[in-house]
């Protein structure tokens, strides 16, 4: 049963099927691609996941964020103690996260690790790139298999980011020569290459495991990959 909330209006809302878990102090939502986690600057960027949630739970706070174009699991705290406790777990790298992605090309190895410091290169739109003076980042990956044996070649990977920097997975995969399919910032220009453009960024936060700050219970959530 969902926590008590005001009657829903005709305004945009999170679909019922996108609510993975609803407790008295924690929501787990399956964010769609294309939706901001929090509002940006200007009225055209006012719509976001948290503003939609706060119409019904005004006390709601994001615990972490995903890029606008990334879909998948998001934790939203309904209690300040839970928010603080989960935020500490993220900061201490105690939250286990798994992503799925479709990338251009086919890696020669079955698995690997990318350790490459990143820094912001511009603000609007935000772009990041390798920089020895930037923040340390680590991504582990494993090849799940080809998407198709027909050209152009694409592969499905699972990813485990040890750190959680902005655009980390997107930049790391681009740097090793396997940008994520549908990435408008770090991927190839599909139109220039004569290939049909992907309808979305093929990156999904599929699994998340943490500990409830109050009860100590292990929390495990999963979201099916939409691509």
Active-site pick, 67, 69, 183, 207: 67
Report the distance separating Cα 107 and Cα 32, nearest Å: 28
CA 4 from centroid of its chain's CA atoms? 28
| Consecutive H or E run containing 175 | helix 168-175
Taking a C-beta distance cutoff of 8 angstroms, is the pair 98, 160 a contact?
Answer: yes
| Ranges assigned E (strand) in the chain | 19-22, 26-31, 61-62, 71-77, 96-104, 111-115, 118-122, 127-130, 138-148, 154-161, 203-211, 218-222
Is 67 one of the catalytic residues? yes
Taking a C-beta distance cutoff of 8 angstroms, is the pair 191, 197 a contact?
Answer: yes
Report the distance separating Cα 34 and Cα 200, nearest Å: 8
Residues designated as active site: 67
């Amino acid at each position: 049963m969902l926590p008590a909330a005001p009657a829903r209006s005709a305004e945009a809302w999170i679909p019922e099927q996108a609510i993975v878990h609803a407790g008295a102090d924690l929501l787990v939502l399956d964010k769609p691609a294309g939706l901001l986690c929090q509002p940006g600057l200007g009225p055209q960027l006012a719509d976001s996941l948290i503003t939609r949630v706060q119409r019904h739970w005004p006390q709601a706070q994001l615990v972490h964020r995903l890029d606008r174009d990334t879909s998948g699991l998001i934790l939203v705290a309904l209690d300040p103690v839970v928010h603080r406790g989960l935020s500490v777990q993220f900061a201490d790298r105690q939250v286990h996260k798994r992503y799925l992605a479709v990338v251009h090309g086919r890696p020669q190895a079955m698995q690997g690790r990318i350790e490459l410091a990143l820094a912001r290169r511009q603000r609007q739109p935000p772009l990041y790139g390798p920089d020895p003076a930037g923040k340390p980042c680590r991504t582990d990956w494993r090849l799940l298999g080809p998407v198709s044996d027909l050209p152009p070649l694409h592969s499905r990977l699972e990813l485990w980011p040890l750190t959680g920097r902005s655009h980390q997975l997107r930049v790391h995969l681009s740097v090793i020569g396997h940008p994520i399919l549908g990435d408008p910032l770090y991927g190839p220009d599909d139109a220039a290459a004569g290939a049909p453009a992907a309808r979305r960024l093929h990156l999904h936060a599929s699994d998340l495991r943490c500990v409830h700050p109050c009860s100590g219970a292990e929390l495990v959530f999963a979201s099916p990959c939409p691509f």
